[in-house]
Amino acid sequence: MPQILAKAELLENKVVVWNREEGEKIFKEKYFGKWIEEDNVVYLQLMLEEAMMLLERGYIKIFKNEKELSVQEFFRICCSIDPEFTYKYTVYRDLRQRGFIVKSGFKFGTHFRVYERGVNPYKTGEKSPREHTKFNVHAVPENIDWSLADLSRFVRLSQNIRARPLLAVVDEEGSVTYYIVKHVSP
């Protein structure tokens, strides 16, 4: 059994680690979470997908209203917060198991930004081409009806940040197939 690195708290739709020392242990492991400072309080905020993976692996305990949540309870809560959670988490877990660093893509109109192994996604200043977002990944179930306008927007936003758009399709068995989507000019 792995060593518990941190205690976290579920607050509405985010998971936070209040203890700075515990948060550092989580952050340094392939950059789980993001440091947030508000009202002179600094804490590590975890995406639901990050928190789920850390909970499954036994690295964190998650509490809600001072009650410890099991993996199953937390999963149910995540699904009630985010109807897309099941397939988003399937893709997140697959990318992490492949060694990639995965961060939120919300700001870029997609589910995830993916970085090469070993890249610090929070580096400031000049970045080498390797240190930029490699892929913008959008997770979808295999039976989705997606409009061409949505697909076009996804490709355009990805190209704006020089990331390759990847459509991650999750089938009924939970397998993920990745498709690179390209804009082609005739």
Share of the chain above pLDDT 70, in %: 96
Q: How many CB atoms lie within 10 A of CB 64?
A: 16
CB 68 within 8 A of CB 61: yes
Considering 51-55, 130-134, 143-147, 153-157, the range whose residues carry the highest mean pLDDT is: 51-55
> Is residue 75 predicted with pLDDT exceeding 80?
yes
Tokens, residue 68: 């410890």
Average pLDDT for 25-40: 89
| Domains in the chain: boundaries | 6-81, 85-180
At residue 129 the predicted structure's pLDDT band, cuts being 50, 70 and 90, is low
Domain covering 85-180 in this structure, CATH number: 3.40.1350.10
Residue 178: strand pairing partners: 168
Q: Which residue has the tokens 């949540």?
A: 69
State the amino acid at position 45 in one-letter form.
Q
Domain covering 6-81 in this structure, CATH number: 3.40.1170.20
Q: How far is CA 75 from CA 13, 62, 69, in A?
A: 12, 11, 9
> Is residue 150 predicted with pLDDT exceeding 90?
no
